[in-house]
Amino acid sequence: MDQPTLIILTETMFQPALLHAALGEEGVAGHRVEAVDTLDGLVAVLDQSDGPARLAAFCTGIIVPTAVLNRVDAGAYNFHPGPPEYPGLFPSCFAIYEEAAMFGATAHAMTDKIDEGEIVGVEHFTIPEYPNRMTLDKMTLECVHQLYQRLLPDLVDFEKPVAPSGDTWLGRSRTTKDFNALCQLPGNVSADEFDRRYRAVGEGPNHALTVTLFGQRFKLDNSRTDEDVVRGGVSTS
């Protein structure tokens, strides 16, 4: 019998925990489980596969082309930060700016369009009062891990596709244009508006807040050192 292959597409820092969890599943016996962090790595594993392949993309910004998705014959599923209420780019930023009460993570079938595939799992949690982006991203990463763990039995069961959860995408998908508009402070910004935008997109070394005054564009010189630098929800300091 051809050997099923579960491929986990994620950054190297996430791979040990995800591989350990997958290899500990009872239903994984006889399966091949591989972790890759690049599109070339994914294609290489598919080239070596002699049986059905299933993809689990975890918190990755890599866009998998349709031609590659078509080779993943047992289904491709994306696990990412942000609940169905916040499809599109930078969901945590918009949740903070809009002062949402709840946030979470979504798992969905991958298609050639961002956040449009059928949803197979959702986790929600309550957002603490006055969150910043780094705090919310840390909490969200834990939530994505919980969702991955919950769906692992289905991911390693190659007899059937992962079942839809019944959840649907809600709201408008946010774009780069929307994010850029959020980053551009109005010249007459109020203290409350500045606070919301600062918490949403202004903290950390790679902040994006700008303001245009008298025809000149200025970027916030943020040198705060009282919080960890976070990448992908993981402290790198």
Same-domain pairing of 135 and 186 = no
CA distance 205 to 194: 18
Same-domain pairing of 10 and 127 = yes
Instruction: Name the token pair of 91.
Output: 């969901």
- 163 lies in some domain: no
Instruction: Name the token pair of 47.
Output: 């080239």
- 56 lies in some domain: yes
- 160 lies in some domain: no
Structurally, the chain folds into a number of domains equal to 2
Same-domain pairing of 151 and 180 = no
185-224 pLDDT, tens digit each: 888 889 999 889 988 987 655 567 888 777 777 777 765 4
- 195 lies in some domain: yes
CA distance 115 to 86: 9
Same-domain pairing of 110 and 199 = no
Same-domain pairing of 149 and 183 = no
- 171 lies in some domain: no
50-68 pLDDT, tens digit each: 899 999 999 999 999 999 9
CA distance 152 to 146: 10
86-98 pLDDT, tens digit each: 999 899 999 999 9
Model pTM? 0.86
- 162 lies in some domain: no
110-147 pLDDT, tens digit each: 988 888 899 999 999 999 998 888 889 999 999 999 99
Taking the CB of residue 57, how many other CB atoms lie within 10 A of it? 21
Same-domain pairing of 38 and 102 = yes
CA distance 155 to 212: 49
Alpha-carbon torsion angle 182, 184, 186, 191, nearest 10: 60
Same-domain pairing of 218 and 141 = no
Range of the domain at 98: 5-155
Assess contact for 45 and 34: CB atoms under 8 A: yes
Assess contact for 141 and 234: CB atoms under 8 A: yes
Please check the confidence at residue 148 and state whether its pLDDT lies above 60: yes
* Residue 105's CATH number: 3.40.50.12230
Same-domain pairing of 229 and 149 = no
Same-domain pairing of 183 and 113 = no
- 170 lies in some domain: no
Same-domain pairing of 86 and 180 = no
Same-domain pairing of 205 and 131 = no
Name the band, by pLDDT with cuts 50, 70 and 90, for residue 232.
very low
Instruction: Specify the DSSP element, H or E, that contains 124.
Output: strand 119-126
Taking the CB of residue 62, how many other CB atoms lie within 10 A of it? 14
Q: What angle do CA 8, 13, 15 make, to 5 degrees?
A: 25
Taking the CB of residue 97, how many other CB atoms lie within 10 A of it? 17
Last residue of a domain, one of 155, 185, 201: 155
- 225 lies in some domain: yes
Same-domain pairing of 90 and 193 = no
